[in-house]
Structure 1
Amino acid sequence: MSCTLQLRNLIWATSKHDVYLMQNYSVMHWSSLLRRGKEVLNVATPIVPTMKRPGLLSQSLSRVQISTMAVKENLLVAGGFQGELICRYLNQPGVAFCTKVTTDENAITNAVNIYHNHNGSLRIMTANNDAAVRVYDAESFACVNCFSFDWSVNNTSVSPDGKLFAVLGDSTECLIIDASSGKITGNLKGHLDYSFASVWHPDGRILATGNQDTTCRLWDIRNLSKSLAMLKGNMGAIRALRFTSDGRFLAMAEPADFVHVFDAESGYVKCQEIDIFGEIAGISFSPDAEALFVGVADRTYGSLLEFNRTHYNCYLDSVF
């Protein structure tokens, strides 16, 4: 496994036994049951989209360096360092849609989201260094919205009901946006540096944000005047955040060496620290909340680690 720069969304678990991860110029599907991997997307060679529709701004791409990815409901979405967006249905051959979302020189796609909007339609959201957030329909791949901001957008996350989304980037402030209108409904102040990660609690009331100041802050969406709590990392920026589907645990990853797992039921006081070696390429809980996968992006020690949840105490336990 290899990745570059400080982007940490390259691992996605769709079940306890199925994980998607980036490896060089490929996205691989790893089966922990079969103990083997299978390539599902190769971006080293030219990519020609299979979906052809009038007005659809699809284009062929070649040798894409993947910067971020997401997998949900049979849809794989990957972003690239030159503003690329690649969409593939996992049950269909070929890439359905791909394009460059922007021609801006500093165009890196920092984050992609797959989510249901408040009407239930499946959507794709991209966050780019050109200070824009774009929303695509996951069926037609038409761009249905584009929101512009005053700074490069490093991360977005959508609330469980699809009505709000958080926008974080090269600013000390984090914004809460109405997903329909694009209007700012909240401004989160407290972080000291740029932000890189966010995640919503499954109940939609709590938002967690990760920052270069080595902290994660928790916000109550009903009262945004100040953060509920501040969770501290050891050394580096908080680059990835994930809640379990039951809301019990919050995983927090630094750029290298440390993943912290907080127990939400204890008020985020109890924590297990996972000390590994190497840059962290991403973290993902399985949908059943029984497993945590950690990607290690190191030329020598690159690997995918699996940790299983134990039920005789409140922590996760390594199977290795």
Structure 2
Amino acid sequence: MLRDLLWATSKHDVYLMQNHSVMHWSALRKRGKEVLNVARPIIPTTKCLRSLPQPLSRVQISTMCVKNNLLVAGGFNGELICKYLNQQEVAFSTKLTTEENAITNSIDMFQSPSGSNWVVTGNNDAQVRVFDAANFVCFNRFCFPWSVNNTSVSPDGKLMAVLGDNADCLVSDSHTGKVVGTLKGHVDYSFASAWHPDGQILATGNQDTTCRLWDIRNMSQSFATLKGRMGAIRALKFTSDGRFMAMAEPADFVHIFDTQSGFEKAQEIDLFGEIAGISFSPDTEALFVGVADRAYGSVLEFNRKHYSRGYLEAMF
């Protein structure tokens, strides 16, 4: 189930799960600091008349996202926890659903066309929820016919990819939830998606061990299929400049593709252990890989190599 338990907010700042804590790892200081402890009861400080924060007991984190000074984490029992990085206390926490097996599978943060910061969650209860990050109010809820394993929002905030326990992937309007496109081609359940920064390419990762690439202007069929080595494609990330895309299998393999070569040039990183997440630094200079193995748990950093003509041959 490990997918997005590692986020880089700069070349020197990485947030990752370690045991029952979200840790901040400073690559400059070479040391970590606890940001959130979920083994203890969580009591939110937000007093908002329009939202209903709830204290939570021991939480097992299933996914998280860190952007714009905000950490949002989801739990295996449908929990949602929001904490500002510059504050000691948790700002908001709640249970999104009381249904059994209602895992919070995915969290994305994005800026709406109006400029508001929104949080979108995907859960096993087949629902996508959209929150206003300013007051943590859930103002939209979209229902789908199957468990939602992943959601991601286009760079302009208008479209949302919705993937789950179905071979088809959906593209919907992020404001209304209306399905505007159905992506057919995968043969199993999907777990990951990522948008190219130009908003024209959507990548989807599937249990069938492939990543498919779709031109959002023509969703009738994928224009490329990228193969993993052994397992499902559980995580996908583009660099902020769109030059590279990384995809991770559940364990041992991370693949990096050069988008300017039409995704034909690729590099494979062979490591050992379950992969807890992958994240490019915002300046594109580093790729971080989280390894969740009990004995060899670690964060691996791969630095981008540049040549005199400006770009690299060997990638990361």
Instruction: Please give the residue correspondences for 1:1-320 in structure 2 after superposition, counting only pairs within 5 Å.
Output: 6-312=1-307, 313-317=312-316
Alpha-carbon separation, structure 2, partners of 1:98 and 1:113 = 16
CA contact (8 A) 1:125 1:136 kept: yes
Q: Secondary structure at the match of 1:316?
A: coil
CA distance in 2, matches of 1:131, 1:66: 19
Counterpart residue type for residue 207 of structure 1: L
Matched-pair identity in %: 72
Deviation at 1:106, TM superposition (A): 1.6
Shift of 1:314: 2.9
Unaligned runs of 5+ in 1: 1-5
8 Å contact from structure 1 (residues 7, 110) kept in 2: no
CA apart distance, 1:54:
2.0
Give unmatched runs, 5+ long, in structure 2: none
**Mapped partners of 1:118, 1:207: distance in 2:** 19
Secondary structure, in 3 states, of the residue corresponding to 1:265?
A: helix
Alpha-carbon separation, structure 2, partners of 1:175 and 1:275: 32
User: How big is each residue's C-alpha offset from its partner over 1:47-81, in whole Å with a ceiling of 9 and x where there is no partner?
Assistant: 00000122421100011000000000000000000
Q: Secondary structure of 1:258's match?
A: strand
Deviation at 1:92, TM superposition (A): 1.6
Distance 1:106 1:48 in 2: 23
Higher deviation after alignment, 83-92 or 47-56: 47-56
Is the 1:109–1:126 contact (alpha carbons within 8 Å) kept by the matching residues of 2?
yes
Preserved CA contact (<8 Å) 1:263 1:314: no
Q: TM-score, normalization: structure 1?
A: 0.97
User: Separation in 2 of the partners of 1:41 and 1:197?
Assistant: 25
**Separation in structure 2 between the aligned mates of residue 217 and residue 142 of structure 1, nearest angstrom:** 34
Aligned-partner residue type, residue 151 of structure 1: W
- Work out the number of aligned pairs and report it: 312
SS at match of 2:260: helix
Q: Distance in 2 between matches of 1:7 and 1:163?
A: 28
Query: For the residues of structure 1 that align with 2:285 and 2:314, how far apart are their CA atoms?
Result: 11
The whole-number CA distance in structure 2 between the counterparts of 1:142 and 1:314 is 47
Q: How far does the alpha carbon of each residue in 1:5-28 deviate from its partner, in whole angstroms, 9 at most, with x for none?
A: x22100000000000000011000
CA contact (8 A) 1:46 1:63 kept: yes
Q: Distance in 2 between matches of 1:180 and 1:78?
A: 23
Q: In structure 2, how many angstroms separate the alpha carbons of the residues matched to 1:39 and 1:205?
A: 38
Q: Judge conservation of contact 1:281–1:294 (CA < 8 Å) in 2.
A: yes
- Secondary structure in structure 2 of the residue aligned to 1:204: coil
TM-score normalized by the length of structure 2: 0.98
Note the C-alpha offset of 1:120: 1.2
